[in-house]
Structure 1
Amino acid sequence: MTEEDRILHALQSKLQRELETYNLTPMEDIDNLSPADLNIILYKTFDKDSPIGFRDDVDYTILEHVPFLKLSLKYFEILKDRGKVKLTKRGNLPRNLCFELYNTRIIEEDYIERGIVKLNKEGDTVAIQNVKIISLLCGLTKKRKNEISMTMNGEKYLQEESKKDLFELLFRTNCQKFNLGYHDGYPQGIGIQDTLGYTLYLLLRYGSEDRTVDFYINKIVTAFPSILNHFEERWMSRLEQFRSCFETRVLERFLKYYDFIQYGNKRSPLSSKGPIDLKTTDSFRAIFELRGPKFKFKKSGHWA
């Protein structure tokens, strides 16, 4: 090895050490996570090496009370009994099936209950439409010649012993494949779905106590400040628009459908401003966990 090679090798080794140190160093802006931890949480959220994830010892009686799973199972039961269901000309579920599912009252839509929208078609209920789309994305159901039915693989998940696997498949797909912004008019690709792993981490870390939604909003924006650039200053500030979008996509039309959050509105009926309390439910904490040994560093004697 020449002197030049030795110098180059020494520089490369130094850079590698500095990079490793950086990747394992707690960063205040990301809730004192290390960049390495954040990378796994964002891009390998449910992998076995992730610092967050599904518990192995989930009680099946808890899963029986998860609304989105219950509604999905009711939908699958109907499809299995009927063999196949003919869709409308627009490819929607027939009205009678929507009525049958909604009348189970497993998931109630506030705007329907208040009489703002009358249930006449699939598109009138976000929850039922989500069940249909996510089941297709999972490969649990299939659509052929404008008819929808269970797949052979989907029927395997209907066994009682497969309930945990079914839940995990639905939840992963809801997080990673389904477009959470499908139903709203906010900008697409704004990063809310890309940072969902971080949101789940924050809820696992802080959600056992009542905190305002703004507590989580501020932490997300501090970690990912460029997320606000997707909004234009209008009659609401960028931050207010992001908060409204987050509440709609993540809280109202995702986690609430699984009964994973207690979501209390303290706002005036005439104002979009004001605190909203947020707390995770017993079900959320029984199904998900922070995995201390998986974190890359320690903070004040406790895992991040």
Structure 2
Amino acid sequence: MLYGEEQNSFYKLNPNDKSVNGIPLIKQIRYFLNQIETEVKLTKAGNLPPTLVKELYSQKILVDELIENGFTKLTKETDANCIVLTRVLCELSGILKKRNGTLSLTSKGRDIYKTNGIFPLIFDTFANTFNWSYFDGYPNKTIGQVGYKFSLFLIHKYGDVERNADFYSEKYFKAFPQLLDNPETNQFSEPYGCYSVRTFRRFLDYFGFIRVTGNHFQKLMTVRKSETFDEFIVFKAHGV
């Protein structure tokens, strides 16, 4: 279960074909693609036009902590990680293509983005293709992404109760000790924060699969499974 490569090895994604527009990341991607319509001309730096960036962020579907807390001003695409992520996932998944300074919908993108099929495509792209270390400076590039299915199982098994994020970090590193540079690592060490940020703040929270409170820097982050998790990730009996 820890290393299985098959998507349906022990769980299914949206087996009942529920509407996926309530998933924050999917909702943001669809809004973004609706704004593009067919294509959009990029800036000289290769970024999305500032007007499109501000329009997308103003929906507050996903937000950036630095912007919300006044540390960063939104003037361009790269000021908001959640907008960069939205674009990157669309390109990596084959929904969008960049050519001659223009970003445009592919035939695949036109066919899938308004259907429920966009969810497994984006989920798989985020989980397996996108580099989870893209937005941070943590030295270990694989923490969180390696064994992400195990993290899903942990949330499935223990997520009914609100727990400190370190509860999951401890179980994760016990299962994957090779990811620790120092075997004496504990909840006050950098790897725990790295795991919490990548797995909870960026991955599961963006899909609306958990409710997160607190700040990992102060060791106060808590995590609880949302109803959305059980609606869209259903575990098979032999995987429990």
Q: Distance in 2 between matches of 1:232 and 1:104?
A: 44
**Number of residue-to-residue matches in the alignment:** 240
Q: 1:75 aligns with which of 24, 32, 35?
A: 32
Q: Distance in 2 between matches of 1:117 and 1:167?
A: 30
Aligned to 1:53: 12
Paired amino acid for 1:141: L
Q: 1:178 aligns with which of 127, 130, 136?
A: 130
Q: 1:287 aligns with which of 227, 232, 236?
A: 232
Q: Provide structure 2 residue ranges, at least 5 long, that are not aligned to the other structure.
A: none
Secondary structure in structure 2 of the residue aligned to 1:91: coil
**Is 1:65 aligned with 2:22?**
yes
Q: Distance in 1 between matches of 2:77 and 2:130?
A: 17
Q: Provide structure 1 residue ranges, at least 5 long, that are not aligned to the other structure.
A: 1-36, 296-303
Aligned to 2:68: 113
Aligned to 1:277: 222
Matches within 5 A, 1:1-304: 37-40=1-4, 43-44=5-6, 46-47=7-8, 50-60=9-19, 63-80=20-37, 83-159=38-114, 162-163=115-116, 165-229=117-181, 240-265=189-214, 272-293=217-238, 295=239, 304=240
Kindly state the Cα deviation for residue 237 of structure 1 after the two structures are TM-superposed: 6.7
Secondary structure in structure 2 of the residue aligned to 1:39: coil
Deviations 1:280-302, CA, capped at 9 Å, x for gaps: 11111111011014x4xxxxxxx
1:284–1:244: structure 2 CA closer, same or farther, 3 Å change rule? same
CA contact (8 A) 2:42 2:103 kept: yes
Kindly state the Cα deviation for residue 266 of structure 1 after the two structures are TM-superposed: 7.1
Q: Which runs of 4+ in 1 moved over 6 A?
A: none
Secondary structure in structure 2 of the residue aligned to 1:253: helix
Normalised by the size of structure 1, how large is the TM-score?
Answer: 0.74
1:57–1:218: structure 2 CA closer, same or farther, 3 Å change rule? same
Kindly state the Cα deviation for residue 183 of structure 1 after the two structures are TM-superposed: 1.0
Q: Distance in 2 between matches of 1:146 and 1:259?
A: 33
Paired amino acid for 1:38: L
1:108–1:275: structure 2 CA closer, same or farther, 3 Å change rule? closer
1:277–1:102: structure 2 CA closer, same or farther, 3 Å change rule? same
1:115–1:148: structure 2 CA closer, same or farther, 3 Å change rule? same
Q: Distance in 2 between matches of 1:103 and 1:208?
A: 32
Secondary structure in structure 1 of the residue aligned to 2:56: helix
Secondary structure in structure 1 of the residue aligned to 2:152: helix
Kindly state the Cα deviation for residue 109 of structure 1 after the two structures are TM-superposed: 1.7
Q: Distance in 1 between matches of 2:97 and 2:183?
A: 39
Q: Distance in 2 between matches of 1:240 and 1:69?
A: 33
Paired amino acid for 1:53: K
Bigger Rg, structure 1 or 2: 1
Normalised by the size of structure 2, how large is the TM-score?
Answer: 0.92
Secondary structure in structure 2 of the residue aligned to 1:262: strand
Question: Which has more helix, going by share of residues?
Answer: 1
Q: Distance in 2 between matches of 1:66 and 1:146?
A: 30
Kindly state the Cα deviation for residue 38 of structure 1 after the two structures are TM-superposed: 2.7
CA contact (8 A) 2:143 2:194 kept: no
Paired amino acid for 2:107: M
Kindly state the Cα deviation for residue 52 of structure 1 after the two structures are TM-superposed: 2.1
